[in-house]
Every structure is written in C-alpha cells, then in structure tokens.
Amino acid sequence: MRRARNLRGSVELPGDKSISHRYAMLAGIAEGASRLENYSTGADCASTLACMRALGVQWERKDKDNVIEVQGRGMALAAPASALDCGNSGSTMRMLSGIVAGQRFTSEMMGDESLSRRPMERVIKPLTAMGARIESEQGKPPLEITGGDLKAIDYTMPVASAQVKSCLLFAGLFADGETRIEEPLRTRDHGEVALRSFGAQVERKSRGPGSEVRIRGGQRLRGVETRIPGDLSSAAFFLCAAGLFPGSELAIPNLLMNPTRARLLDVLMAMGLRISVTQLEEVHGELVGSLQVEGGGLKGATIAGGDAAALIDEIPVLAAIAPYTEKGIEVRDAKELRVKESDRISAVATNLRLMGAEVEEFEDGLRIAGGQTLHGAELDSFGDHRIAMAFAVAALRAEGETVIRGADAAAISYPAFFPTLEGLLER
C-alpha cells in the first residue's frame, strides 16, 4: 500500500456479515423458501451456508446480486455426515451451536487454527444448562453437541456478546417454556430483528445499560424475501480512510444503520467527519440509509464502557488511524478484542509500532497519541481480516510503502476490499 492524496467516489457494500449469518441459519429452519439478496460475499458467511447444507438444507446461489435461495426444512435438520466446518467464523460456531443443540442427533463443529483458540465456554455453559450435552477441548473447539429436549432457562450473560445472545435465542425456539436472557450491555440486536422477520415473537426490554430478551419455545418460522443492507463494519474502513483527507468525498448507498451498530457514525461525526444521511428506510426491521461523507481534520476520541461493546469490530481501524488525529484515541473496556480472530489489541499495537507510532497498551485497550507521523513498514495481518484492512487504511497517510503479510485474510468478510479501496483513491 502507498500513500494517497485523497479519496473520492461512491461505494456500495456487500450485505452485512452479522445479518447474513442469522438469515442463512433461520432460513434453514423456517418453513418454505427464503430469498436473500445481497448476501455477504465473505468466506465466513459461506462457512455458515456450507454448514447448513451439511445439515440437510438445500440452497442455491444466483450470481447476480449475490442472491441465495434457501429451501427451509422446518425445525428438524438432518444429522451431518461429517464435522461441520466453521472455518474462521466464530459467529458460525457460536450461533449455529444454538440450533444444533435443539436437534436429536450429535454434531461435531470444528474450525481453523484461529477459531480453535477461541473461547466457547460462553455458549457451552448455558446450552448445557438447557439440556444439551457438549464436549470440547477445555472450552475450546472442536465441539461435539448432542441435542434435543431442551428446557428454557433464565440466563444472565457474564460477557456482553451478541453471538451468545443469538445462540440462546435460537436454542430457545427449541426449548420447552420461555427463555429469558439478560445482557449486561446492549449489543447488536440482529438476532431479535431477524427472528421477528421470520415470524417469531421476541420480547425486549431495556435494563440499565443492557437489556432483557425473551422468547417462547415451539414457535415456527416462515421463509422471508429480503435484501440484506450493506455491511457497516466493512464501510468503517472507507469512512476512516475518508477521515484521513480533508478534501475527501464519499457516497455510500444502502448501508445498514441499525442503532445498535451505528455508533461509529456518531464517533466519527464527533471527531469532525461530516456525514449526512438520506433515504432512511426500514427493511424487515433493519434501518437502511444512504450516506454522504465529507472529510475534515479528525479530532480524537475516548471509547469505553458501552461504546466499546457497540464499536467492537470498528476499534481496530479507529485505532489504526488514531496517530493521524489531532488528540489521539483511547480505548478501554475492550478486553474482548483479545479473543477475536487475533488478539486485536496486541496486533494493532505491534503494527502501529512497526510504523513508528508511540502506543500504550493496556489489558483492556490502547492509548494512542495524535499528531504522529508514521512510515511504511512490513506488517502482519495476524491472519485477521479486520487487521489487514485497518492497516491498509493506516498506510494511506504513511511515508513510503507498507506491505501487509497475509492481507488476503480480508476475504473472510470482504473479498473485494483492496480493489474497491484502490478505485476510490487519488494518488
């Protein structure tokens, strides 16, 4: 990657990764056909589809507009002939475990080297309490889940995690009684929204900074036809890149604007990026809008508490541009970043330091001063898509050339990222 002078143009994003996973899973256990337009192009969402096929769900991809047509099987899936390969995708393993826990057979779920290091105790414990039998490698993958006869639970999640919340809501569909889940901080609500659009009733109430959700077992789902809004976490890379150049102009049509995801827009606006939203509409309960963005000098930000949970996937790129801001960025309460596809706190600190930045690292975050000048360097993606893309953005204002080893990891969520970024840059 080389330094750029400016960023200009329009970019439409492939469908949101979080929503694509959930729709593919729910379409599989719904009655009737579903048609999912603008399905995520990322390898992670392909892993979910492959697992659904292994569980007996038929689906077809139509290349035009990334449409996936799914023939729902209803609540009973078929026992898989071999292990379900979740690839790099924690979302696939955690959320699908809620569905296979409701099936009267045993499923093995495995993943790549990175996924095999990630904590699964957070789903094992509550699913076991609901009646599933689960074996693991000391709380890590592979998992062997024997499901069936689940009973509802009342569960307070120790960690704020939308994946765990969705896993338990999905398992709750198969359980006897009403499952109640409390989350300590509000996390993305795509599971709740998707379940409703497939016809289930889900109740939600605010509880302090978190919320409580309830679902009754035995509800049936029916297929949907919908268009998945553009992925806001992928758009984050272009939004932050636009922030690096005062003359930048960026248009983003059909972007996901769900309030539990859109905190990034507030933070970037508070930092000085000018963002206007036009054509706001609701599609199957998800807010979708078009953005017009104009660059300005970026001030700085502190991200902590509920903001850290709300911005968890966008923190790597915010941190990567922090040295170019006026006052720098401090991130706290983000310990979860250490157990993502890589240890993202350490990955960001290592790469920024290689570029010549001063970075303070904490167990739960980072402090990065503003007004720093960076130079190009040889960096590593640590096999993590968001680290690869974050540092492609950081490279745009560095002196000299930056090489990112393992940059192809971007394909996990956004295969067209590099050519799309190139197409927006002015050198």
| Residues identified as active-site | 313
Contact between 307 and ligand S3P (CB under 6 A)?
A: no
* Cα separation, 8 vs 425, whole angstroms: 6
Contact between 107 and ligand S3P (CB under 6 A)?
A: no
Per-position x/- string for 179-198, each x denoting binding to ligand S3P as judged by CB under 6 A, each - no binding: ---------x----------
* Cα separation, 350 vs 380, whole angstroms: 9
Please answer whether residues 381 and 343 qualify as being in contact, where contact means their C-beta atoms are separated by less than 8 angstroms: no
Please answer whether residues 340 and 293 qualify as being in contact, where contact means their C-beta atoms are separated by less than 8 angstroms: no
Which positions from 331 through 370 interact with ligand S3P, judged by CB under 6 A? 336
Closer residue to ligand S3P, CB minimum distance, 166 or 351: 166
Please answer whether residues 178 and 130 qualify as being in contact, where contact means their C-beta atoms are separated by less than 8 angstroms: no
Q: Is the peptide bond before 142 cis (omega within 30 degrees of 0)?
A: yes
Contact between 88 and ligand S3P (CB under 6 A)?
A: no
Contact between 385 and ligand S3P (CB under 6 A)?
A: no
Contact between 44 and ligand S3P (CB under 6 A)?
A: no
Q: E strands of 147-284, at which residues?
A: 150-151, 154-156, 175-176, 178-183, 202-207, 210-216, 225-227, 249-256, 274-283
Tell me, what DSSP letter sits at residue 230?
Answer: B
Closer residue to ligand S3P, CB minimum distance, 338 or 397: 338
Name residue, tokens 């993958």: 141
How many residues of this chain interact with ligand S3P, rule: CB under 6 A? 10
**Which stretch, 3-11, 29-37, 104-112, 162-170, contacts ligand S3P (CB under 6 A)?**
162-170
Q: Which of 103, 163, 248, 325 binds ligand S3P (CB under 6 A)?
A: 163
Query: Shortest distance, CB of residue 189 to ligand S3P, whole angstroms?
Result: 10
Contact between 312 and ligand S3P (CB under 6 A)?
A: yes
Contact between 47 and ligand S3P (CB under 6 A)?
A: no
Query: Shortest distance, CB of residue 340 to ligand S3P, whole angstroms?
Result: 6
* Cα separation, 140 vs 119, whole angstroms: 5
Nearest CA to 364 out of 384, 343, 390, 387 is that of 343
Query: Shortest distance, CB of residue 6 to ligand S3P, whole angstroms?
Result: 30
* Sites of contact with ligand S3P (CB under 6 A): 18, 91, 161-163, 166, 188, 312-313, 336
